[in-house]
Amino acid sequence: MSNRQAEIAAALDVVPPFADDAALNAEIERRKTFIKHVLKQSGLKVLVLGISGGVDSLTAGRLAQLAVEELRTETGDSAYRFIAVRLPHNAQHDEHDAQDSLKFIRADEDDTVNIAGAVNGLGEQVTHLQKLTDARRDFVVGNVKARIRMVAQFAIANANNGLVIGTDHAAEAVMGFFTKFGDGACDLAPLSGLVKNQVRAIARHLGAPQHLVMKTPTADLEELRPGKPDEEAHGVTYAEIDAFLHGEAVSDEAYATIVRTYDNTRHKRELPLVP
């Protein structure tokens, strides 16, 4: 492991590879305990999470549902609950995966907020967007989608005196692969520190369908490239990112790409700058 690998892994609190099923089980219990602790400490009883159809929201959602079920049993308080929210922009091309995720999660409540009206309305009012090339505008509006989705989740959480869950994990954090104040904004992030294959391992252990566990990850924010794979945006694979974070050898090209991207996206992982 290089000094930079060790430095970055420590900064992101990367969880070591699971040694065996006992370690995997222990990590699942630790994550559920964390969720329960945050809720109890907040004095609130509702959790909210947007469900995309990808393995990250599927895993965080199932952990949240299990956590509130345990809280209801432990406290006798039926007010603890989890709300899973679909947040499509018009019709989502992989809606079937999102619906399969909801069936697996079995949330206390499912909700749907179509963000297209809000995104389009804002786009019509922000004249600066009209001056951009089609490709640049598509990218900027993609970030608007991520931020509007989080606005919707916080609105639901506020209405129910609840907290919003985020799905960020170490393999995305190292690449800065989230929208600042969009999907990067949340009250608690129960997948933090995990690499991608660990998220998949937890999902698989919890009984998630294999087609969701191994689904090609995509932020799916760009209209011109619907379903664009994360790995294409990264320039490296998740397997290479995971290996890097776990101190394993990767190609010189992958190493350079990961370190450069980590350094360039530092501002996303920090609080706003102040004097």
- Residues annotated as catalytic are 56, 172
Among 182, 185, 203, 153, smallest CA distance to 53 is for 203
* 141 membership: H or E segment, kind and range: helix 134-159
The gap from C-alpha 7 to its chain's centroid, in whole angstroms, comes to 23
Token code pair at residue 132: 């951009």
Cβ partners under 8 Å of residue 47, min gap 6: 35, 39, 64, 67, 68, 81, 82, 83, 162, 163, 164, 165
Degrees, nearest 5: CA angle 42-165-161: 45
Let me know: does 171 contact 242? Beta carbons within 8 Å: yes
Among 195, 192, 191, 193, smallest CA distance to 241 is for 195
Distance separating alpha carbons of residues 149 and 70, to the nearest angstrom: 28
Let me know: does 227 contact 144? Beta carbons within 8 Å: no
Cα dihedral 139/255/198/175 (nearest 10) = -30
Distance separating alpha carbons of residues 191 and 211, to the nearest angstrom: 20
